[in-house]
Amino acid sequence: MSVIEINSLTKHFSGKKFSGEKIKALEKVSFNVGNGEIFGLLGPNGAGKTTLVKILLGITFATAGSAKIFDKPVTNVNVKRKVGYLPENHRFPNYLTGEQVIDYFGKLSGLKKSDLDKTTYKYLKMVGMDEWGTTKIKKYSKGMMQRLGLAQAMISNPDLIFLDEPTDGVDPIGRKEIRDVLLDLKNQGKTIFLNSHLLSEIELICDKVAILNKGELVKVGSVEDITTTGNKYIFTTGDLSEEIMNKILIEYKGTLHGKNEFECTINSIEEVNKVIDYLRTANVLIHGFSKEKNSLESMFINLIEQKN
């Protein structure tokens, strides 16, 4: 089942550029997000990511096209109850404590005072901030503010959570902790929609990604599909004799990278196993073999450069 369905979504801002053109923030964007997925929306600055999230939240309206959440139009009030949101560059009044911020958003989502004490600290603990609950947030670091923002997005126990740059300003250990929280939410069956510039993180956590550039959808698919380059396998081995190298070159049409590494384009896993069988009968020590992959980052840079 799709939790989010977007069809030909278009958003033009009437604010004119110097040239007099309208700003085309989104141009006929279509994709779906499945139930229980961690979905990553990527794109360079100004690609339209925040605009798309704001349309899904009903904060701004599309010029054309449609967007549905849980099979209902995004303006439906019941849909909003099921959604949590961590905005980009969020600001909370800095004279409040962490606990007061979460309580405030809990009340806004309709939680009763009696439930709040437990619930507030449950979520502060989940993001590693329970010991800071009574400290005024003006004393928080950027990373602590992001964690608080994440707790705020979870307070109403939503089924779908939008996070706009959740790890912005968070150190590597904090980012790992936030990833663990997101995986925990996924295990509870929640759907997570993530906007991020941090491609290595998206690669680690997302089931599916969409790449936007200048308002247009450039690619959508699983991280595996987007980063796999074809059927090229790389073998690393102990020293290869002259005879074995010849066999790899001629029979397996491989390319040698010195005496301890070669690559072959192989179309089936059975064929891969034949190469392994050959190496083992020839007493070659196999150190490792892997299917060649592009990192999401190099894929992303290639795609964006092609379009510019």
Ligand X SMILES: Nc1ncnc2c1ncn2[C@@H]1O[C@H](COP(=O)(O)OP(=O)(O)OP(=O)(O)O)[C@@H](O)[C@H]1O
Binding site for ligand X (CB under 6 A): 13, 15, 23, 25, 43, 45-51, 88
Partners of residue 5 on adjacent β-strands: 32, 68
CB of 213 or CB of 227, closer to ligand X: 213
Residue 273 to residue 297: CA distance in whole angstroms: 30
Spatial CA neighbour of 233 closest among 255, 249, 251: 255
Residue 170 to residue 142: CA distance in whole angstroms: 7
Partner touching 46 among Mg ion, ligand X, none, CB below 5 to 8 Å by kind: ligand X
Residue 162 beta carbon to ligand X: minimum distance, rounded to whole angstroms: 12
Residue 50 beta carbon to ligand X: minimum distance, rounded to whole angstroms: 3
Partner touching 15 among Mg ion, ligand X, none, CB below 5 to 8 Å by kind: ligand X
Stretch of residues binding Mg ion (CB under 5 A), selected from 47-55, 76-84, 91-99, 186-194:
47-55
Burial of 131 (C-beta count, 10 Å sphere; 0-12/13-18/19+): exposed
Encoding tokens for residue 89?
Answer: 């560059």
Partners of residue 289 on adjacent β-strands: 235
Q: Is residue 119 a contact point for Mg ion (CB under 5 A)?
A: no
Partner touching 23 among ligand X, Mg ion, none, CB below 5 to 8 Å by kind: ligand X
- Of 3, 25, 43, 50, the residue at the interface with Mg ion (CB under 5 A) is 50
Residue 55 beta carbon to Mg ion: minimum distance, rounded to whole angstroms: 13
Partner touching 137 among ligand X, Mg ion, none, CB below 5 to 8 Å by kind: none
3-state secondary structure of 10: strand
Residue 223 beta carbon to Mg ion: minimum distance, rounded to whole angstroms: 21
Non-local CB neighbours of 288 within 8 Å, separated by 6+ positions: 235, 236
Stretch of residues binding Mg ion (CB under 5 A), selected from 50-58, 139-147, 168-176, 183-191:
50-58
Stretch of residues binding Mg ion (CB under 5 A), selected from 43-51, 93-101, 229-237, 240-248:
43-51
Residue 57 beta carbon to Mg ion: minimum distance, rounded to whole angstroms: 13
CB of 88 or CB of 207, closer to Mg ion: 88
- Altogether, the residues listed in the chain come to a count of 308
Stretch of residues binding Mg ion (CB under 5 A), selected from 82-90, 119-127, 138-146, 235-243:
82-90
CA atoms lying within 13 Å on the CB side of residue 19: 3
Residue 237 to residue 183: CA distance in whole angstroms: 36
Spatial CA neighbour of 49 closest among 154, 200, 165: 165
Residues at the site binding Mg ion, with contacts judged by CB under 5 A: 49-50, 88
